[in-house]
């Protein structure tokens, strides 16, 4: 489990693709102390397991489902990535519940300065905005943000100077894909709220058979 508060911007050292699998090596510094093989690290919001370590790198295996569901196929050597270690049980909870299980990708379509902030607008499938509410939480490339506007096929967030400086989002260009994870609580509530209607429909179907 993660919180969406980025600890460090790392850089891709190597990304060796083989079909729809990949071995990904990240150069980093701050998150290395205390990290061991088998630990979970969120890379651009994607939860991966450390498989190898060196003095200044961590290596991960990327399986086909992750490759297909995320923007990892566009990573190249020197690409900046957001890094966050799994939340410690005694840690401060500053963001929101982030699993590192990406729901899909979006495309940055607009950047607009707004006094001391910058508004980012992303185009996404309607299947993702179904789980979004204004003033709710969203994770973009693993960064915990607040939704300021939700449309049928788009949403907007506002980034303060600290968030821009401390995350990889400052490097995202118009037309570039980002990883999106919708609010965990919202997804479960949406699923739960559909259950009574589904149960009634199933009962009605059984009575007519």
**Residue-wise pLDDT tens digits, 46-91:** 999 999 999 999 999 999 999 999 999 999 999 999 999 998 766 6
Residue 198 has a pLDDT of 45
Q: Among 85, 119, 134, where does a domain finish?
A: 85
Domain-embedded: residue 1? no
Domain-embedded: residue 92? no
Domain-embedded: residue 59? yes
Question: 130 and 170 in one domain?
Answer: yes
| DSSP letter for each residue of 164-191 | HHHSGGGGPPTT-EEEEEE-HHHHHHHH
Beta partners for 40?
49
Rg of the chain on CA atoms, in Å:
19
Question: 24 and 62 in one domain?
Answer: yes
Question: 114 and 58 in one domain?
Answer: no
The CB density around residue 117, as the number of other CB atoms within 10 Å, is 16
Question: 174 and 126 in one domain?
Answer: yes
Given the structure tokens 């190597």, which residue do they identify?
14
Question: 81 and 36 in one domain?
Answer: yes
**Confidence (pTM):** 0.87
Domain-embedded: residue 26? yes
**CATH classification at residue 66:** 2.40.30.20
3-state secondary structure of 18: strand
Alpha helices, H only, 47-125: 64-69
Q: For residue 5, is pLDDT > 80? A: yes
Question: 169 and 127 in one domain?
Answer: yes
Question: 171 and 117 in one domain?
Answer: yes
Q: Which of 88, 89, 75, 99 is nearest to 27 (CA)?
A: 75
How far is CA 66 from each of CA 72, 105, 174, rounded to the nearest angstrom? 8, 12, 23
**Residue-wise pLDDT tens digits, 119-165:** 999 999 999 998 899 999 999 999 999 999 999 999 999 999 999 99
DSSP 98: B
Q: Among 85, 118, 153, where does a domain finish?
A: 85
Q: Among 55, 85, 115, where does a domain finish?
A: 85
Structural contact between residues 158 and 146, judged by C-beta atoms closer than 8 angstroms: yes
Question: 113 and 70 in one domain?
Answer: no
113, containing H or E segment: strand 104-114
- Per the structure, the count of domains in the chain is 2
Residue 191 has a pLDDT of 74
Domain-embedded: residue 203? no
Question: 185 and 108 in one domain?
Answer: yes
**Residue-wise pLDDT tens digits, 176-188:** 999 999 988 777 7
The CB density around residue 162, as the number of other CB atoms within 10 Å, is 8
Domain-embedded: residue 35? yes
Domain-embedded: residue 121? yes
Residue 96 has a pLDDT of 79
Size of the chain, expressed as the number of residues it contains = 209
Structural contact between residues 122 and 182, judged by C-beta atoms closer than 8 angstroms: no
CA 160 and chain centroid, separation:
19
Domain-embedded: residue 38? yes
Overall average pLDDT of the 203-208 stretch: 42
Contacts of 50 (CB under 8 A, 6+ apart): 35, 36, 37, 38, 39, 40, 41, 58, 59, 60
Question: 79 and 140 in one domain?
Answer: no
**Could you tell me the residue range of the domain that residue 51 belongs to?**
8-85
């Amino acid at each position: 489990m993660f919180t969406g508060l980025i600890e460090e911007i790392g850089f891709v050292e190597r990304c060796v693709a083989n079909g729809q699998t990949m071995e990904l090596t990240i150069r980093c510094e701050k998150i290395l102390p205390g990290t061991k093989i088998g630990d979970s690290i969120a890379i651009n919001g994607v939860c991966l397991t450390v498989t190898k370590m060196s003095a200044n790198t961590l290596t991960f295996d990327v399986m086909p489902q992750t490759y297909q569901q995320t923007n990892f196929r566009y990573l190249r050597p020197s690409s900046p990535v957001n890094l966050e270690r799994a939340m410690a049980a005694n840690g401060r909870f500053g963001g929101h519940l982030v699993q590192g299980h990406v729901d899909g990708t979006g495309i940055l379509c607009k950047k607009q300065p707004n006094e001391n902030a910058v508004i980012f607008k992303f185009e996404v499938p309607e299947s993702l905005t179904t789980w979004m509410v204004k003033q709710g939480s969203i994770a973009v490339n693993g960064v915990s943000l607040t939704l300021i506007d939700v449309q049928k096929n788009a949403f907007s967030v506002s980034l303060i100077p600290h968030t821009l400086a401390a995350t990889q989002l400052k490097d995202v260009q118009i037309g570039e894909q980002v990883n999106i994870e919708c609010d965990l609580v919202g997804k479960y509530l949406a699923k739960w709220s559909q259950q009574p209607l589904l149960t009634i429909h199933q009962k009605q179907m059984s009575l007519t058979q």
